[in-house]
Amino acid sequence: MEASGDIRRLLEIMAALRTPLTGCPWDLEQNFESIKPYTIEEAYEVADAIERKDMGDLCEELGDLLLQVVFHARMAEEAGHFTFEDVVKAVTTKMIRRHPHVFARSDADTPDAVKLQWDAIKRQEKAERAARRAAQGISEDFKGGHLGTVQRSFPALMEALKLQEQAAKVGFDWSDAEPILDKIEEEIGELRAALKEGRREKVADELGDLIFATVNIGRHVKADPEMALRGTNTKFRRRFAHIEQTLAENGETLEAASLERMEELWQDAKKGEGNSTL
């Protein structure tokens, strides 16, 4: 079998991998739950390639993510649920339906008008989905109510951001960023009190409140919390690598270096970047 740019070749490869007796033992023993972590991981690796502006890696990682879609679809087909073609039809139907200003007649001719139209269509789809699930006897599990469209399977930062965005649509929101800073200070005080009490569960609860409030201010200033944190993670990696490299050049090790020595090198790394953050 040779490689090809035709999606049908990828479907053939996955079918071969999942064929009993002649397929791959590892692929054959997988199920939706076991593959789920890889699907999430591949999505993050796509985001990482974009952040690094590495188009070669991005091409490869998008392929890995597509493989996850094909893998799930193949398992679903084997179980008689749906096929890869059903997945493609579902998303093309959704895109055509949500863009009547492109594929049909619509008065939405500005970004704001398109956003309002998109939200209205999604609300209609939500109602139809709820009716379908009810008819099939599927438990909603937080799918009802105004926050029902926010998936609990999202990473925690994304879920917090989406919950806040949904609540803001009905006016449950801060008027500006300044009061959120006050809220953050309040949460810090409650976290300090919980730390003094020494109750681990209380500390975790207050820490969650603090992170939630921090996400909120990011939303208000249009700084995506996930991307902001990823940027800080990258910065931390870069500065710590400077510490490690400088120590090695001077015949020192991380293990033997004092905190004061590492802090000194950390500050050197900051000066080299020409900024004063972190």
Tokens for 105, please give them: 């007649």
In whole numbers, what is the pLDDT of the chain averaged over residues? 90
* Confidence check: pLDDT of 276 > 60: no
* Confidence check: pLDDT of 77 > 90: yes
**Choice between 234 and 89, residue whose per-residue pLDDT is larger:** 89
Determine the Cα–Cα distance for residues 82 and 238; give it in Å rounded to an integer: 45
pLDDT tens per residue across span 4-23: 999 999 999 999 999 999 99
Q: Indicate the fold that domain 7-98 takes in CATH.
A: Helix Hairpins (1.10.287)
Q: How many helices (H) and strands (E) does the chain have?
A: 12, 0
Q: CA-based diameter of the chain, in Å?
A: 71
What is the model's pLDDT at position 277?
Answer: 52
**Choice between 190 and 105, residue whose per-residue pLDDT is larger:** 190
What is the model's pLDDT at position 56?
Answer: 96
Decide if 134 contacts 121 (C-beta within 8 A).
Answer: no
What is the model's pLDDT at position 140?
Answer: 56
Sign of CA dihedral 251, 256, 261, 262: positive
Burial class (CB in 10 A: 0-12, 13-18, 19+), 240: middle
Helix (H) or strand (E) run with residue 70 in it: helix 55-78
Determine the Cα–Cα distance for residues 68 and 27; give it in Å rounded to an integer: 12
Give me the mean pLDDT over the 225-251 stretch.
93
Tokens for 23, please give them: 């397929």
CA distances from 155 to 41, 150, 158, 164 (A): 11, 11, 5, 14
* Confidence check: pLDDT of 274 > 80: no
| Domain locations in the chain as residue ranges | 7-98, 174-218, 226-273
Tokens for 90, please give them: 């579902």
Decide if 84 contacts 73 (C-beta within 8 A).
Answer: yes
* Confidence check: pLDDT of 24 > 90: yes
* Confidence check: pLDDT of 58 > 90: yes
Type of residue found at 28: L
